[in-house]
Structures are given as structure tokens and as C-alpha cells.
Amino acid sequence: MDPSRRTLLLRGAKLMATAAASQAGLLGNINLLGQSQMPAMAGMQHTEAPASNAVRPAVPARPWLHPERLARFVDPLPVPQTLAGTETRPHPQEPGRQIPYHRVVMRRVETKVHRDLAPCSVWSYGTSAPGPTIEARKGQPMMIEWVNNLPTQHFLPIDHNLCGAGKDIPDVRTAVHVHGACVPPESDGYPEDWQKSGESLSALYPMHQDAATLWYHDHAMGIERLNQYAGLYGFFLIRDEQEDALNLPRGQYEIPIAIADRFFYADGQLHYPDSGDPEAPWIPEIYGDVILANGVIFPYLAVEPRLYRIRLLNSSNSRAYRFTLSNGHTFHQIGTDQGLLPAPVELKELMLSPAERADLLIDFSSLAGTEFTLQDEVRSILQFRVGAAESPSKPIAMPAILRKIDFIPESAAVRTRTFTLNEYMHPQSRIMLMLLNGQYWHEPVTEKPELGSTEIWSFINTTQDIHPIHLHLVRFQLLDRRPFDVDDFLNYKKFEYIGHGAPPEPNERGWKDTIKTYPETVTRIIVPFTGYAGRYVWHCHLLEHAANEMMRPFEVVAPSKSA
Ligand code: C2O
Ligand code: CU
């Protein structure tokens, strides 16, 4: 039998068995399901009757956009402006030291997503989404005042049942997180430390970390998926001397590209689907039928026939991509989430889950005069148009060695923590939710690594989804991924591996901050907890999962207080 069909049948059988057991009161507080919630969800994209209990009329009052009818490759790819400014302020902890200070205002703006569509209202850190690119240098601390000047009403469907999104708090809240940054806890954008419209927060970024492609985005408890969907994300690039010495393509030859999927109404405005129940609109995942590159539908990028550095970010809520070039050309990955790999890795295909980044070199020098696309499987995203003129300057060579990375031996870890990744059905609401190790957000902190210590975190993914797991504050290395018998584990609490551990892929042999945990697989990472003591979070970066309990706090503690 076709394996996907087997999985579907298996899922269906488990769902029914669990529902029956639950009715008979056989299960406890929460029902362990261990499979993706609704097989129909993935195919739900813009079906007109999303659920049997839908209250939405069959013919929507506001028609949806049919992206396949849009003209392709008529808009140039916008490259976000770099955040500029010369203002300085005293360093909050180092008397006498002045450091760069920026003020970034979040507001509602109108932006063009396609030539033939009316301007779209988005929420932005600047004038469009993604917001301005923030450039930082290792060793040069900076301060950013994040100002929430957004409207007081949200335009996307808030689910007030979700933790931290109650009706008693302001609808519009923001908490800015620089994903991948090693910062003190009060500057990290802890989901519960939000600002409402009219408020601001000044954050300190110490920048004691290596060059890397980071990004910033909203993290406000219970609504981060809506705020990011609305447009609250941007690039945050760190540079350092080690990277400078490689002479990688710079300026107009270095292009950050954020990929995000969306739904639109025919009038050009954003549409975020809901469950059909206005009292509980949360949906478990979202797969938009439009893929934006730097906020534009089907853009093109004119390039010279030479080497380019492309920093690719998956800023989608749920969608993972399998990127290829339509002409079959290969490219090289030179960096992961947390900076350079040891050496370039040649690829024909690149998979990125939400929040992952890949630093790429693409050599267009043999492709003069051609056009081809960056695509996700067979879906075109962006067209490259390679100019005819050979650039007169000397071609830039691809470096053979990028940097030395010390791989941490397992023996360096002082302890191993094991977590299950599960999907459950809530017994009362009958709504699916996702949990880390069976725990809810509000339960006491159970992970208290000691500052300076190294631990192994092992994720037992009992589901059919790839959950990209992200830890704030730290960078880590992937140890391995090993399949186990999920049926035995869920039904009989018996744990057994059913294969060998697979080492990291060549393009994962560097520092990561977000790791794909594969279905029915144990994924192990090794994490040095350096930086700062304090409360941070770790979570699945499928934003709909994170919003529905697939997020937990952890607390880095000063030596001798750990647990
Ligand atoms: Cu991309 Cu908790 O963050
Ligand atoms: Cu998840």
C-alpha cells in the first residue's frame, strides 16, 4: 500500500479508538493521540466549506484571490532597506560607553504585493514587510527601542481560548524577539512581557556572538502567529572579522530573501483562515496558496553573471519548503542558522522549516542570458534573470574553507533531558493541541540548566509532523536522528529504536538554533548553555503549534541552583 495512505488509515483508526476510549472514560485528563490532528487540514487551503460545523456562508461575502490568475514576474524583488541612524546612547551597564541606538516603530502601512493588486494593509517595523534589515557587528553592542504604534484592534482572528490571549487583555500586543540572539532575558521578547499599543521597550543587544543570519519577529503570547502573518518580521544580520576575511559577495551582490506563504482576498488584503467557529477560530496549521519573497508575489531579480550571496529565511507560519532552481543548477550552502559552516556544501535541493535560515552562494557566471526560477517543488516563487554582460571585474572565487567548528563530544554533557512531542485532543473542547513533554505553558518550569553547562536534549517526536524546535538564547549542534517504534511507544509505553542513528546532513554540520525533528524519530542536540541566567522559552516554530501550548519556559540558573 502507498505509505501515505497507510498513514492516513492508521491516523483515522487511532482517532476513532481514542475517541471511543475517551467516551468510555478510559483516558485521563488528556488523550494521547500521537498523530497529526486532521489529515484534511493540509488540503484545506481555501476550500469553501472548511469544517462541518462551519458558520461561514458557503459563498464568501469577500471572494478570495486566485493567485494562478496573476501575471508572473512583473515586480522586481524588493530588498529591505538597512536600518540607518547615527544616534548613540550610554550603555546601560557600562558607564562612559556610548553605543548605537535605534528606534523602530511598528505601525500599520500599505504596501504593494503585486503590480495588479491594490495596496495591502500590513503591520510593519518600517514601511513594508519584511521590515528594515538590522545590521550588527560582533563586539559592538546596540540598543533598539521597539515602539508599538499599531492600531488597538487586531484585523486577524484572535482566539481568546488560547493561553495568554484572554478577553481581559488588550487585543494588540507585541513582544519583539531577535531569533538567534544571545541577549539578557529582559531584552529577549519573553512572550508574556508584551507592550500594548502606545507603549515601547528598549532592548540591549550585547552582540558577543559570531556572524550569522538572524531575524526578528513578534512573539506576543497567544497572537504571535497573527502578528507575524500581519508582517512583523525582518532580517537581523551580524557580521564579524572572520567572515569579512572571506571576501564574500557584498552590497548589491548580497541579498536577503524571506519566504512566507499567505492567503489573500481578491481585493488584495490578507486573509488568515479560521476554524469556522468564531468563538474558537484557532487552526492547527496554515498553508497559504501564495508564496511571498520579501513580501511580493512572483517577483523577479535581475542578476549579473557572477557569484551572489543569498541569505534565505523561511518566515512562514507552518510551511516547510524544498527549494530547487528550475534549471537544475546547483548552489552552495555556506552557513546555517548560527553562522558559517566549516566548508561550502554543494546542493541541488534545500529543505527549510519555519525559522530556519540558509546562507547560500549561487554562481550565475555560466548562466548569462538565461531565466529560471527559485521554486518549492514545482511551485515558482521568484525568477532570476541573468544579464548578458560578463562583469569586467575579476570573478570572485568560492572559498574552500569557511571556519573551524569544534564539535562537542557527547561526554561534555552533564545531563540528558528527554522530551516527547505529542498531539492531544482536549477532552472538553475536543480541540487538538500540541504539547512538549505533556506539559502546558503555565506549569512550573522544569528545565533549569546551569549557566555554562552543556546538556543533551532529546526530542521523541510521536507525531506525523516535522516540528522545528527552537531554543532561545543558545546555539547548539545536532547529534543524530534515530527512528523508533511509535505504535509500541504510544500504545504500550514500550520504547524501542528501529534503526540506526543518522548523523546530521552535511549542511547541518554547523551551529543551529532551530532543528527539524522528524516524525517517529528521536532527534538529539547538544547545547552549551552560555550567555545569561534567566527565564527564556523553547518551542515548536510552527506558529500555530506554539500558540496552542507547544511552547515551554526554561530557566538558566547560576551554578549550584540547577535542577
Ligand atoms: Cu523565532 Cu521563539 O522564536
Ligand atoms: Cu509543532
H or E stretch at 121: strand 120-124
CA 438–ligand 2 middle distance (angstroms): 13
- What are the residues facing 480 on neighbouring strands? 524
Which residues fall within 8 angstroms of residue 485, CB to CB, at 6 or more apart? 494, 495, 496, 497, 498
Alpha-carbon distance of 227 to 73, in angstroms, equals 28
Q: From start to end of 440-520, where are the E strands? A: 454-461, 467-471, 477-483, 514-517
517: amino acid identity, one letter: T
Alpha-carbon distance of 273 to 264, in angstroms, equals 10
Alpha-carbon distance of 513 to 337, in angstroms, equals 6
pTM: 0.89
Q: How many CB atoms lie within 10 A of CB 239?
A: 17
pLDDT of residue 432: 78
- In the block, which residue shows the cell 531584552? 187
- In the block, which residue shows the cell 546596540? 142
pLDDT digits (tens, 9 = 90+) for 126-155: 999 999 999 999 999 999 999 999 999 999
59: amino acid identity, one letter: V
Alpha-carbon distance of 316 to 288, in angstroms, equals 9
CA 320–ligand 1 middle distance (angstroms): 16
Whether 470 lines ligand 1, by a CB cut-off of 6 Å, is yes
Which residues fall within 8 angstroms of residue 411, CB to CB, at 6 or more apart? none
Ligand at minimal distance from the CA of 355 is 1
H or E stretch at 8: helix 3-23
The C-alpha R_g of the chain, in whole angstroms, comes to: 23
- For the chain (length 563 residues), average pLDDT per consecutive 10? 33 33 30 32 34 48 93 98 94 95 98 98 96 98 98 97 95 98 98 98 98 98 98 98 96 97 97 94 96 98 97 98 98 98 98 98 96 96 91 75 97 98 79 87 97 98 96 98 96 95 98 98 98 98 96 94 53
Alpha carbon nearest to ligand 1 atom 3, residue: 179
- In the block, which residue shows the cell 517504534? 485
Ligand at minimal distance from the CA of 178 is 1
pLDDT of residue 118: 97
Whether 219 lines ligand 1, by a CB cut-off of 6 Å, is yes
Alpha-carbon distance of 377 to 432, in angstroms, equals 29
Whether 221 lines ligand 1, by a CB cut-off of 6 Å, is no
pLDDT of residue 396: 74
Whether 177 lines ligand 1, by a CB cut-off of 6 Å, is yes
